[in-house]
Amino acid sequence: MAMTTDARGSPAERSRQRRERILDAAAHVFSRAGYRDAAVDDIAREAATSKGGVYFHFPTKESIFRELIRSTAERLVAKVEREVARETDPVLQADAAIWTVLRTFAGHRSMARLLLVDALGAGRPFRAELLRLHERFAELIAGYLDRAVAEGVIAPLDANVAGSAWFGAIHEVVLRWLVADRPPPLERAYPTLRLLLLRSVGVPEERLAELPNR
């Protein structure tokens, strides 16, 4: 009845799956131990393969981590942009972005750990990459704010600083949730955070009153 081996699919397919298994294991190990303290041997063990097996699929330890970060961030950005695109009003777009980020992180705690915590302990090159990621999010936000200014919804402001500040505020709130012992649901911070952020750029109180409930 049950197959005696799990040798399903073509060789190419099996190889792809193995690669994926290694990536999954790596995500696990990295977010448990941090980049430096995660040994390739640990990843190999958790992926039920060997160090040689890992190095067959990836040239370096660093490349595993990079790929993990890149694809994770990619998915998040895409998700945010998709949700934002469903709205046309800049205020609602900003709100949707905040909500999507919080909700996604809330549902993927270890992914969040990887992206926000571990990547920092990984040495120079990663920090640079991570900071570019920060920048990317900050610019995403700055873009929405600029459009809000252009449409006259809010008064002009330095969108770069505001983008960084928004990103930093969200980042820190998520970080606190990540490192707390038994944290309340992340979503609970949403109403306060949304109010703070929207008010900070001068969205008028009337607009704030008519925001959707979540």
Q: Which residues bind DNA (CB under 7 A)?
A: 5, 7, 10-12, 14-15, 18, 36-41, 44, 48-53, 55-57, 59-62
Nearest to 21 by CA among 47, 56, 41, 39: 47
Give dist(CA 12, CA 137) in Å, integer. Answer: 36
Structure tokens of 81?
């942009």
The yes or no reply on residue 94 touching a second copy (CB under 8 A) is no
Nearer to DNA, 61 or 194 (CB): 61
Give the residue with the Cβ less far from a second copy, 48 or 179. Answer: 179
Pick what 214 binds: DNA, a second copy, none; C-beta below 5 to 8 Å, kind-dependent. Answer: none
Q: Which of 39, 78, 150, 179 lies at the binding interface for a second copy (CB under 8 A)?
A: 179
CA angle 81, 138, 158 (to 5 degrees): 120
Query: Does 192 help bind a second copy (rule: CB under 8 A)?
Result: yes
Q: Which residues of 153-183 are buried (b: 16+ CB within 10 A; e: fewer)?
A: bbeebebeebbbbbbeebbebbeebbeeeee
Distance CA 82, CA 10 (A): 34
Query: Cβ of residue 161: shortest distance to DNA, in angstroms?
Result: 37
Alpha-carbon span 141 to 164, nearest angstrom: 8
SS3 5: coil
Site for a second copy in 119-178 (CB under 8 A): 120-124, 127-128, 131, 134-135, 138, 157-158, 161-162, 164-173, 175-176
Shortest gap between Cβ of 59 and DNA (angstroms)?
A: 7
Contacts to a second copy by CB under 8 A: 34, 36-37, 117, 120-124, 127-128, 131, 134-135, 138, 157-158, 161-162, 164-173, 175-176, 179, 189, 192-193, 195-197, 199-202
